[in-house]
Amino acid sequence: MSERTATRTGEFLPRLQLSPDHDLCPGCGEPLVLRLILELIEELGLAERAIGVVGIGCYTALAPLIDLDLIQALHGRAPSLATGAKRMRPEALLFTLQGDGDMVNEGLQEVIHTAARGEAVTCILLNNGVFGETGGHMTATTVLGQRTKNTIEGRSAAQHGHPIQLCEMIAPLGGAAYVARGSVHDAANVSRTRRMLRRAFETQLSGSGFSLVEVLTMCPTGWFVPTAKGPGYLDEVLGAVHRVGELKRDGVLIAR
Amino acid sequence: MRRLMEGSEAIAEAALAAGCRFFAGYPMTPFTELLESFAAKLPALGGACLNAESEIEAIGMAWGAAATGARAATGSTGQGLALMQESLSELTRAELPLVVFNMARGQGDYFQATRGGGHGDYRLIVLAPIDVGEAVALTREAFELAERWRNPVLVMGDYLLAHTQEAVEAHADEIPPPPPRAWAADGTGGGRKRPRHVSSLGTTPGSKGIDPESFWKRIQAKHEAIAAAEPRFEAESVEDAELLVVAFGSLARFARHAVRELRSEGLRVGYFRPITLWPFPSEALARAAAQVRRIAVLEQNAGQMIDDVRLAVLGAAPVLGIGGISTDASGFGIGALLDPEGVRARIQGAVQ
């Protein structure tokens, strides 16, 4: 096997990122997703017709870096803001950036109705299975057995209930045209996620309905694992429950 | 041309004439007819009216529409407004012009409107029309004020206003469509290092942290400027009044009628009505009350505006409440207090 020096992607700033500096933890997966989104929007030539709607979570700290028109939402409320914006600017690409606490806990009703309405917006879920910003607490997507600061012995079905698999919930809805779950724990999945985001944006631009891309992201800080073990933990723990792949494409459910 | 219109329809028409092109709401009595009017009329004008999944989504949708620079509105009844409080407070910090209607059940939402249940330091401009004709004028003004100050404006109505038919001017001149706004996130601002971020958090694109001086304290200063510039009121027969009657909204119509009658019979009563509930016209009220022996506050609740009246006159005259909770079994705020003879008797009682 040949060896080569790793490419430091940090040295290649996406054109739509205002600064290389961010305040998120080492090993966090969220900046990777931001990079994918910004690179794609540039590639599709949509910088002057795109509006992002950002929720509240760690990724909110990335918002000031984004060289796109943005609307800051309250926790959980990005899909309704995106709806209102899209209705007034139908030519714009509308995407939300939300975490699992934001989209699946506080704002679950919002994403469900926006999908059912077939709103031509793309909701992007950064799912790391914890409230990272508060320091690692249980969310609706935390898997059984996962240790968090308020499920210290691990999430138990009896005491804390079962995790919600959002894509599986959204995909059957009539208005949902494209639903997929990706991950950024290794290079192959980063590329795959990039293709999913592209299809979601293309779905929106074709006017065929709502699109959702969930991306599993590393949170070694909130998982209490060493930084280098984040990708493996994601694959083995979160990935076993929240399974990566496309669930719906062109309005047709995909058998898995 | 004057047309006979129900309050809800007249308000919706006034909003559309003011250039409103987005509305979202969730049905609730007595707000429902306002939603129906927008739903019937907006699509033909190229606008959108969305049946939101809840009041929380309704204000979220209107927030998103307003953030792109569109003239937008939402509304509900006090109970639904309760669900919107988080957004209302945050919208003041996002500095978005948004018009919000409260077709309330009675007048029990005075505190909600003027103090609010949201977080942090914030103020809403609150307009309380007395009748359908004034509601039409104030709806237009609400959009102007919202844009001038980049702050949400709340229009307070009630069951009576929403459902009373009156002859009103059907077509006002349309306010010109909003010019492209430098701050609006309309989607065209990316890629040139100067994106528009409509945020309630105080952050700025390309830099870190929040500067308290240019964010929280600047907004506080703006609210102080609104408080100085925008109080509105109506007063009658105050110069030599011994008793001053203070009332707002629909109930003030009964008070004004009774005061005029009693005046014509020689009783030295005056009438004062705040049109803006915030900013409360405290200075004007203090002037009107300078020589009175007593102040009677008529409001259809357990006593809310009376606090602002007391703060305005600072003990210069005794202040007594002559209103009260009044509703039939429906709870919609139509009760025995809404009766000219009864109001007249209460005012006469306060003179003694």
Per residue in B82-135, pLDDT (tens digit) is 999 999 999 999 999 999 999 999 999 999 999 989 999 999 999 999 999 999
Tell me what pLDDT residue A234 has. 98
The terminus-to-terminus CA distance of chain A in angstroms comes to: 33
Tokens 């040295």 identify what position? Answer: A11
**A107: which 2 tokens?**
């704002």
A237: closest CA of chain B, how far (Å): 34
Full-model pTM: 0.96
**B240: which 2 tokens?**
């030599």
CB neighbour burial string for A12-27, b if at least 16 within 10 angstroms, e if fewer = eebebbbeeebebbeb
Give the tens place of pLDDT for each residue, B254-297: 999 999 999 999 999 999 999 999 999 999 999 999 999 999 99
**Which residue, among B63, B86, B89, would best test binding to A if mutated, counting the most A CBs under 10 Å from its CB?**
B63
Percent of chain B scoring above 90 in pLDDT? 92
pLDDT at B176 over 80: no
B245: closest CA of chain A, how far (Å): 42
Q: Residue B63 in contact with residue B70, Cβ under 8 Å?
A: no
Q: What share of chain A is helix, strand, coil (3-state, %, to 5)?
A: 40, 20, 40
Name the closest residue on chain B to residue A91, using Cα atoms. B187
Residues of B in contact with A65 (CB under 8 A): 206
CA distance B250 to B54: 28
Name the closest residue on chain A to residue B24, using Cα atoms. A84
Q: What confidence category does residue A3 fall into, taking pLDDT thresholds of 50, 70 and 90?
A: confident
B318: closest CA of chain A, how far (Å): 45
A10-19, B8-17, B28-37, B110-119: range with lowest mean pLDDT: A10-19
CA distance B351 to B345: 10
Residues of A in contact with B204 (CB under 8 A): 64
Tell me what pLDDT residue A8 has. 65
Residues of A in contact with B87 (CB under 8 A): 74, 77
Residues contacting residue A51 through CB under 8 Å, at least 6 positions apart? A68, A69, A70, A71, A82, A85, A89, A92, A93, A94, A95, B68, B185, B186, B187
Tokens 């009576």 identify what position? Answer: B160
Q: For A99-123, what is the mean pLDDT? A: 98
Q: For B235-258, what is the mean pLDDT? A: 98
A86: closest CA of chain B, how far (Å): 8
pLDDT at B59 over 60: yes
H-helix segments, A171-256: 187-205, 220-223, 230-233, 239-241
How many Cβ pairs closer than 8 A exist between chain A and B? 162
**A203: which 2 tokens?**
């779905």
Interchain pair B60, A66: CB under 8 A: no
Name the closest residue on chain B to residue A107, using Cα atoms. B57
* Burial category of A6 from C-beta neighbours within 10 Å (exposed 0-12, middle 13-18, buried 19 and up): exposed
Comparison of pLDDT for B327 and A10, the residue scoring more: B327
Which residue pairs from A226-230 have beta carbons closer than 8 angstroms and sit at least 24 positions apart in sequence?
Answer: A227/A25, A227/A26, A227/A27, A228/A27, A230/A27, A230/A29, A230/A185
Give the tens place of pLDDT for each residue, B63-80: 999 999 999 999 999 999
ipTM value, please give it.
0.96
A134: closest CA of chain B, how far (Å): 17
**B26: which 2 tokens?**
């969730």
Percent of chain A scoring above 90 in pLDDT? 93
Neighbour tally for B352: CB within 10 Å: 6
Bridge partner list, B14:
none
Interchain pair B72, A87: CB under 8 A: no
pLDDT at B208 over 90: no
Give the tens place of pLDDT for each residue, A96-105: 999 999 999 9
Name the closest residue on chain A to residue B188, using Cα atoms. A48
Share the mean pLDDT of chain B. 96
pLDDT at B151 over 70: yes
